[in-house]
A = this chain, B = another copy of it.
Amino acid sequence: MVNTINISPRKSPLQQRSIATVDVILEATIQVLLSQGHDAMTTARVASRAGVSVGSVYQYYPNKQALLVAVITRHLNNVIQAVERVCQEQRGQSMAEIAKHVVSAYVQVKLQRPDASRALLALPSNAATNHVIASITTRGQLAICDLLASCSDARFQDPSLVAIVMTGSLIGPVQLMLTGVVPLERSEAVTAHLILLCTEYLRSVGDSII
């Protein structure tokens, strides 16, 4: 049997190297951001960490800003995908289940690659990055909004507000853990409390329909 699988690194002569290079560059960016901070993140440093030349960085990204946006986008796409997936899976479930799964999923993706998450927190916000963040955050709230509307044991008068408060209340604690203000070891306890927090919140703002 020959060569059955050949996933991700599919390679036609021309494309393969590029794909790899792009990924290597993105990864190197995160590493530099993490180990040296944003102020020290120069395109040269990224290239050298990636093991390529500066020129190669510019072959794929027109400028430093674009590179940062790409890094952010890739990370947030992971997050939003996890959130949207869980929202899909939990449709029609009870408030308790919804709270539990949404919180777990969110905390998990963010802490799964703490380096990447941390690296992004170190970035200064600006027009370009804000836009990416805002649009993905909004997408997440929409997903949660829909999910709430499908809830089996309650109705919410202002589901979008509830979605805002709920997602918002997750962002902060996770940030505290990523920045080290709260030790990562407490992540499980924090997660458990966040589930409680959200569950009780949903109960208090939802009109029971059972």
Contact = CB atoms under 8 A, between A and B. Distances in A.
Q: Is the interface of A mostly helix, strand, loop or mixed?
A: helix
Interface string A166-206: 01111111111001111000100110011011011101110
B196 A182 contact: no
B124 A181 contact: no
Interface string A123-145: 11111001001100110000000
Interface stretch (A17-25, A147-155, A156-164): A156-164
Nearest to A197: B201
Question: Which interface class (under 10, 10 to 19, 20 to 34, 35 or more) fits A?
Answer: 35 or more
Given A170-B172, A172-B167, A203 B200 contact: yes
A55 interface: no
A52 interface: no
Contacts of A134: 179-181
A72 to B, nearest CB: 13
Number of copies: 4
A205 B192 CA distance: 11
A66 interface: no
Interface in A19-62: 37-39
A169 B175 CA distance: 10
A169 B190 contact: no
A33 to B, nearest CB: 9
Given A171-B171, A172-B172, A200 B204 contact: yes
A35 to B, nearest CB: 12
Interface of A: 37-39, 121-127, 130, 133-134, 137-138, 158, 161-162, 164-165, 167-176, 179-182, 186, 189-190, 193-194, 196-197, 199-201, 203-205
Given A37-B124, A168-B190, 5 more contacts: A37-B127, A134-B180, A167-B172, A168-B172, A171-B175
Give 7 nearest A-B pairs by CB, closest first.
A171-B172, A168-B173, A169-B169, A38-B124, A168-B172, A200-B200, A172-B172
